[in-house]
Every structure is written in structure tokens, then in C-alpha cells.
Amino acid sequence: MTFLPLRGLPDRAVSAAARTWLEALDSALADPSADRALLCRRTLADLSYPEYASNWDTAVEDPKLPLGTRLALASLDPRNVTLEPEYYAECDDERFQRVKPLLWLWYSFDRTPLGGQNVWLGVALRRLLAPRIFKRCGENFKAFQHVEFSFGYNMEVGDNVVVHRHVLLDDRGGIRLGNNVSISDYANIYSHTHSIVDPREVTNVQTVICDGVRITYHATILAGVHVAEQGMVGAMAVATGDVRPYHVHVGIPAKSVRVKPNAPDHDVVLRTSRRQPDPDQPGGED
């Protein structure tokens, strides 16, 4: 969990250039008629292949250039790549094509020398993109590098949410993150599952992570799980069932090992949770 305020850039000129770059992108994206694919391609060309940024159209066709270079240039345009969600039967193509250029820009930025682990600029860029990708995005959203989504458009995100590096947010069936949620490094949150008989049979179901929840390092939350307010899922846990308010679940399948001492009326929560184990919910047993 990050407690320090986000540190700015020490060099004023670089900081000013970064802000100007972000402002230009923000105002271009604010135009509802903007060609997002073109914007994504131009932005990535500036960052990755500046020598071809002004003559991209002729360069991709230029037989004198190595084919690999031409393909790499072509792939800066999201219309020239396919993303995994485009192979999902339930993908709403119209909605996905609208957000795809922004997802491609997000993922591709993270692989540039400018992006990668460049925290301040990366967080600021993702703050521009997230509200235009998600169904809902609250204030102060903070995402570190290499976060991945399925559709993106099925994400509902509250205020002050932090998503750390290398997190997978599979929003096929929808993911709702409440306010002040923290998702630690390498966590996975799913909202789809496959039949054990026929893997082509997919069930999509919304996964809900309520206010103040912490999903810690490398934890996995399976589709449809409801992690109630202030709950916590420990490192490496696999939450297969619901987590009650203020409970800390660990292990595979994740089970409650304690109630947080700041639970309102901690003793009552503890007694209630002991009296009512839910055998149908593997993660709900104590």
C-alpha cells in the first residue's frame, strides 16, 4: 500500500514537457469525434519510432525497409493487431472497438523506455485513459505498470482505488471495485469461469470487491466472489467463496483466519462468524 504522496519529477523542464504532453493527449481525447486509433498510433510512433512518426503511411509500405520494421510500425495502429477479448463470443464489438485503442496505448506505453516503471508519468497517463475505458472510474485512481483487463468497459471503480503492478482484472462478467480498494502486485481478479466438461461453455458473473478491501500479493479471486467491506485476502490465497466484512481470508481455498481488530463491535462479529459457518461456501467456513 502506498502511503507517500505521489512524488513529482525533479527536473522542471521535463516535468513541464510531460504535463504539456498529457494535456495535449487529454484535449485530443476529449473530442468525441476523435479518431482514437489514429491518436493511439501517432502517440506510439512519437514514443517508439520518432524517425517514422511523420511518414508512417509511406514507411509501412516501403519495400526498402525490413519487413519486421514495417510490421512493428503497422502494429502501432490498434486496427492492425487483435487482442484476446476479440476472440470471446460475448465481446460487444462496438463497445470494445471504442476502448481498444486506449487499451493498446495503455499496454504499449508500459513497454516503451518512457513508460515501463516510470511511475509519475504512467499513473498520470492511466488516469486519463481509465475513465474513458471503464464503465465508471472514481477520483484518484492509481494504476501502476502492466495492469491488464479483458474488456475494460465492464470495470466499475470507486474513489481512491490503487492497483499495483502486474495485476489482471478480468472484467468479462464485470468487476466492481468500491472506494479505497487496494489490489497488490500480481493479484488476479476473475469474472468468468469455464464448465469442467466443456471448456467452451463460459459463465460470466460479476465479482464485487467492496469499500476498503485489500487483495494482497499474488492472491486470486474467482468469478462471482463478493469480498465484503474491509475484508482482506492474504498473499497467495485463492478466494473461491465470499469474504465477510472485516474478515481476513488466507490459503487455498481461502478461509477466515481472523477478524480485523478495527471491526465495529469486533467481539460480536467474531461470535456471529463462529456461530454461522456456511458449509456451502468453501471460503466462508471458519
Site residues for ligand COA per CB under 6 A: 1, 182, 184, 214, 216-217, 232, 234-237, 248, 250-251, 257-258
Q: Is 267 helix (H, G, I), strand (E, B) or coil?
A: helix
Name the burial class of residue 198, with classes exposed (0-12), middle (13-18) and buried (19+) by CB atoms within 10 angstroms of its CB. exposed
Give the residue with the Cβ less far from ligand COA, 152 or 241: 241
Kindly state the smallest distance separating residue 99's Cβ from ligand COA, in Å. Answer: 27
Give the residue with the Cβ less far from ligand COA, 131 or 251: 251
Kindly state the smallest distance separating residue 219's Cβ from ligand COA, in Å. Answer: 8
Q: Is 75 helix (H, G, I), strand (E, B) or coil?
A: coil
User: CA 26, 32, 33, 35 torsion: positive or negative?
Assistant: positive
Q: Which residue, judged by CB position, is nearest to ligand COA in the bound state?
A: 234
Give the residue with the Cβ less far from ligand COA, 76 or 189: 189
Kindly state the smallest distance separating residue 235's Cβ from ligand COA, in Å. Answer: 4
Name the burial class of residue 267, with classes exposed (0-12), middle (13-18) and buried (19+) by CB atoms within 10 angstroms of its CB. exposed
CA angle 175, 232, 187 (to 5 degrees): 55
Kindly state the smallest distance separating residue 277's Cβ from ligand COA, in Å. Answer: 17
Three-state SS annotation for 53-67: CCCHHHHHHCCCCCH
Kindly state the smallest distance separating residue 279's Cβ from ligand COA, in Å. Answer: 21
Give the residue with the Cβ less far from ligand COA, 142 or 172: 142
Give the residue with the Cβ less far from ligand COA, 134 or 186: 186
Determine the Cα–Cα distance for residues 220 and 222; give it in Å rounded to an integer. 6
DSSP 166-219: T-EE--SS-EEE-TT-EE-TT-EE--EEE-SS-TT-EEE--EEE-TT-EE-TT-
Give the residue with the Cβ less far from ligand COA, 33 or 262: 262
Give the residue with the Cβ less far from ligand COA, 166 or 258: 258
Kindly state the smallest distance separating residue 83's Cβ from ligand COA, in Å. Answer: 29
Closest-CA residue to 138 (of 167, 190, 180, 199):
180
Determine the Cα–Cα distance for residues 237 and 218; give it in Å rounded to an integer. 7
Give the amino acid at 85.
Answer: P
Kindly state the smallest distance separating residue 261's Cβ from ligand COA, in Å. Answer: 9
